Amino acid sequence: MSVDVPRRIVLLRHAKADWPQVSDHDRPLAERGRKDAPVAGRWLAGAGVHPELTLCSTAVRARETWKLCAAELPKRPKTVYDERIYEASLGELIALINGTDDAVTDLMLVGHNPTIHALADALAGEAEGDAHARMNRGGFPTSSIAVLSLTGDWKSAEHGAARLVAFWSPHD
């Protein structure tokens, strides 16, 4: 596949989680999270963002977020639940993106802060309009989405290589 293929990286922070007496990995969504996750899916559908592949953290709150979000899309993308996303470092998430099959042009990651925000910030060498300022002003709230464009193969996803084309938060 040609290296000048336009690609899209969609980053979704899990929805608002509850704090019951369970391990952090097993925390479910709070009521607000169960309301916000489908709204995020509707935004993706309305914005024409239809990932081909979603890599989702194995944490309960991330899996629940993705299930509710994906239900709003016109077609559910292939989903891989990857334990490496939970507690991943910035470098580990970039390595996951770099390892994506080049046949995929639209990739989504469902994960956690602070790493999802750090990833969006690191990849975005440029931004459209006020997307970068909006993303950084609110600290990447739960259920927020960053959409980045990248030209090249997945191995070219590195610091400053992408353009932040949209940032959305359910409370904008």
Give pLDDT tens digits for 137-160: 888 999 999 999 999 999 999 999
DSSP secondary-structure letter at 21? S
Q: What is the pLDDT of residue 54?
A: 98
Is residue 152, in this structure, part of any structural domain at all?
yes
- Host H or E run for residue 131: helix 131-137
The CATH number of the domain where 98 resides is what?
3.40.50.1240
pLDDT of residue 2: 46
Residue 1 lies in a domain: no
With pLDDT > 70 as the criterion, what percentage of the chain qualifies? 98
pLDDT at 92: 97
Residues 158, 148: Cα–Cα separation, whole Å:
12
pLDDT at 108: 98
pLDDT tens by residue, 92-133? 999 999 999 999 999 999 999 999 999 999 999 988 888 988
For the cut 80, the answer to whether the pLDDT of residue 3 exceeds it is: no
Helix (H) or strand (E) holding 149: strand 145-151
Beta bridge partners of 10: 108, 147
Range of the domain at 124: 6-168
User: Could you tell me if residue 119 is inside a domain?
Assistant: yes
Is there a domain that residue 97 lies in? yes
**pLDDT score for 101:** 96
pLDDT tens string 53-65: 999 999 999 999 9
Query: Is residue 128 assigned to a domain?
Result: yes
Tell how far CA 171 is from the center of its chain: 17
The single-letter DSSP state of residue 51 is: -
How far apart CA 108 and CA 65 sit, in angstroms, is: 13
Residue 104 belongs to some domain of the structure: yes
**Sheet containing strand 78-82, strands side by side:** 78-82, 53-57, 106-111, 6-13, 145-151, 162-168, 124-127
Q: Round to whole Å and give the CA distance between 49 and 136.
A: 22
Domain count, the chain: 1
Whether 108 is in a domain gets the answer: yes
CA-wise closest residue to 30 among 20, 38, 21: 20
Question: Global pTM?
Answer: 0.96
